[in-house]
A = this chain, B = another copy of it.
């Protein structure tokens, strides 16, 4: 089955399955039933079986799913059987936390470049990273062939930064700035503004 035939809603669940399987692997679990996995991911066992059959992965009767093989298959599907370089733009409090976050590396990502326009921040070291001048963003990203950008600038700067990332060849953007980005067709954007899910929840609170 070709990848483009996998519905978007299923694709959205795959990283959640992978995360759960990796945790199970660390705990030494070799096989898991859809019922048990259901408790680890919050989707129903039926949903899980359907999703895995959609991507062509089947459990063994009476044995459940082999955790290691399934995790490897998901890593291949999600293209995280390799490590992706990421360019981070904006090294304020949040950007700094992202640059230091230890959780990226083992899950397929490495912040390879960090930029800020503030001269006071340029040249600063964060672990092995050196913060570079945003003015060099396009050139440096092209040079390194980086395809993923992470925006942690204030809202006012984010659209311009997105345009420069795209100009530099970036094809996927994770945007922490609280603003919708307009990008050319074919460029992917995901959003992580914490107020959005908070307000979704307060809708239901009284």
Contacts and interface: CB of A to CB of B under 8 A. Distances in A.
A42 B42 CA distance: 29
Given A97-B96, A101-B93, A202 B172 contact: yes
Nearest to A100: B93
B84 A94 contact: no
A147 B202 CA distance: 10
Nearest to A79: B202
Interface string A179-206: 1101000001011111111111111111
Interface residues of A, number: 62
Given A155-B23, A174-B194, A204-B188, A107 B15 contact: no
B80 A205 contact: no
Nearest to A177: B103
Contacts of A19: 178-180, 193, 195-196
A203 B14 contact: yes
A98 B202 CA distance: 19
Contacts of A204: 11, 172, 188
B148 A198 contact: yes
A155 B22 CA distance: 12
Given A16-B180, A195-B103, A203 B3 contact: yes
A41 interface: yes
Contacts of A144: none
Interface string A9-34: 00110111011100100000000000
A43 to B, nearest CB: 9
22 contacts: A14-B199, A14-B200, A14-B203, A19-B178, A19-B180, A20-B180, A42-B180, A79-B203, A79-B206, A84-B198, A92-B97, A94-B94, A104-B194, A107-B195, A108-B198, A108-B202, A148-B201, A172-B202, A172-B205, A174-B194, A188-B204, A190-B201
**When A and B form their complex, which 4 residue pairs have the shortest distance between CB atoms, in order from nearest?**
A190-B197, A15-B199, A93-B97, A172-B201
